Amino acid sequence: MSSLPRASEAGSRRPKGYLAGGIGTVYKLRAIRDFAFGLSRARNFDESLRLALMVIMGTFSILKGVIFLEENGEFHARVSRGLPPGILPVPKSKDLLRFLRRTRKPVTVRRKGTAAVVKRTAGELESAVPALSAEILCPLGTKKGVLGILLLGPTLTGQELTPRQRETLGVMASFLSANISNHRVVLEISSLNDVLRVQVQENKRLLAKMREIYLDTIRAFAAAIDAKDPYTRGHSERVAKLSVSIARGLGLPEEDVQAIHIASILHDVGKIVTDRAILVKSSALTRAETRQLQKHPKTSYDILSEIRFPYPDVALLARHHHEWMDGSGYPDAKRDHQIPVGARIIAVADAFDAMMSNRPYRKSLPLTHAIAEIRDYVNHHFDPQVARVFFRILRKGLNGERGKVPFLPKEGNGFSRREVLRFLDGTLEEFP
């Protein structure tokens, strides 16, 4: 005798719920798969909630439903279907919370024998949505806590959900809870990002402010030297601007550019101990006076090496700003690449600005004369690469391709821009 049940027996054993039995299991898996797929395809969080509610209600033939989410001590209706708008928030009472924490599965509200606490909780929620006539209450949450409530009206047929249907609904609610939890994590991270972004902006502002204060202090220091030697007033600032332009033109790292900036402002700080009579002397210096004047790079180094600058080698750059490429400079007779690149840059900027300024012993030189001096002393005094970048900066300045160039004279008084440009073009042909 066959062990298979007869058709009449099989028919009598078929469960009434459409998700029950073998076919029901397939439906159940499909429903869950479609539900999870829908959640993952949603363009944003609200759309994912709308999709979730729609699929749940469609799966169980329910016409009315609402998803409440916990926000600021209340449960707010985030999405609803089949219900009029204006659903009020539900206070997060202790009773409600306790119930939601204890109850992990969907519960039927109006069933015979439903626990009083479920009825009471549903009553609390229903007062916010009287049109719903709640039948199924499904807590939404994770192990970490309560996230919300899914409240559903009666099925189209008026039949209660079967245990298998409630099980399917429970799985869907778990997916929905995970989705809500993920959204909260994303919100927390993005709010942390906002806090961090504000903090980073504030730090940048403070750093810029500190840098300004720091530079003002450095400038005040340089002004003390300028005050002693009126003929070099503004010299440090002009040398600094030109040095920074050359350093950037050479593509040096920003940290080196900043070191060169500071060093070029302070390169002559050692002149603070030089006799003023020597600095303002209009006739040739004696040997002793020259010796005293030539001590200033070493004194600059001694002063600056006591200061902890935020950039490397500031003191060394000041020490070597009078070294020449052929080793004939001072104080250490360094040559070529023994001289730090920053010092080679300051040497060109310093010499150029000195030639363009009135000195106690001579008037400023014409621009073409100063350019020719730099050109003629390339490899003897000046680094050819630095000189080339310097000539290009001058040409750009004269062509108006960059901002105001402070060390260029005004048109007129024997200065012809066109003439200097022609001269510069000829010079640059020697420095391809």
User: Which residues lie near Fe ion (CB under 5 A)?
Assistant: 268
Smallest distance from the beta carbon of 267 to Fe ion, in angstroms? 6
Neighbours of 174 (CB within 10 A): 16
Contacts of 53 (CB under 8 A, 6+ apart): 65, 66, 67, 79, 80, 81, 150
**Of all residues in this chain, which one has the CB nearest to Fe ion in the complex?**
268
Taking alpha carbons only, the member of 234, 299, 229, 291 closest to residue 270 is: 299
Q: Decide whether 168 or 274 has the Cβ nearer to Fe ion.
A: 274
Which amino acid, 210?
Answer: M
Smallest distance from the beta carbon of 346 to Fe ion, in angstroms? 9
> How many residues in total does the chain contain?
432
Taking alpha carbons only, the member of 380, 378, 287, 377 closest to residue 327 is: 380
* Residue 74 per-residue DSSP state: E
Smallest distance from the beta carbon of 268 to Fe ion, in angstroms? 4
Q: Decide whether 267 or 388 has the Cβ nearer to Fe ion.
A: 267
Smallest distance from the beta carbon of 321 to Fe ion, in angstroms? 6
- Spatial distance between the Cα atoms of 95 and 416, rounded to a whole number of angstroms: 91
Q: Decide whether 229 or 268 has the Cβ nearer to Fe ion.
A: 268
Smallest distance from the beta carbon of 196 to Fe ion, in angstroms? 46
Q: Decide whether 236 or 427 has the Cβ nearer to Fe ion.
A: 236
Q: Decide whether 126 or 268 has the Cβ nearer to Fe ion.
A: 268
Tell me the longest C-alpha to C-alpha distance in the chain. Answer: 134
Smallest distance from the beta carbon of 232 to Fe ion, in angstroms? 9
Q: Decide whether 103 or 305 has the Cβ nearer to Fe ion.
A: 305
The answer to whether 82 touches 63, Cβ cutoff 8 Å, is yes
The answer to whether 264 touches 236, Cβ cutoff 8 Å, is yes
- Record the tokens describing residue 93, joined without a space: 């009472």
Q: Residue 3 burial (CB < 10 Å; 0-12/13-18/19+)?
A: exposed
Smallest distance from the beta carbon of 298 to Fe ion, in angstroms? 11
Smallest distance from the beta carbon of 431 to Fe ion, in angstroms? 25
**Cis omega before residue 106 (within 30°)?**
no
Tokens 């003002």, located at residue: 216
Contacts of 56 (CB under 8 A, 6+ apart): 35, 62, 65, 150, 152, 169, 172
Q: Decide whether 117 or 223 has the Cβ nearer to Fe ion.
A: 223
Q: Decide whether 317 or 387 has the Cβ nearer to Fe ion.
A: 317
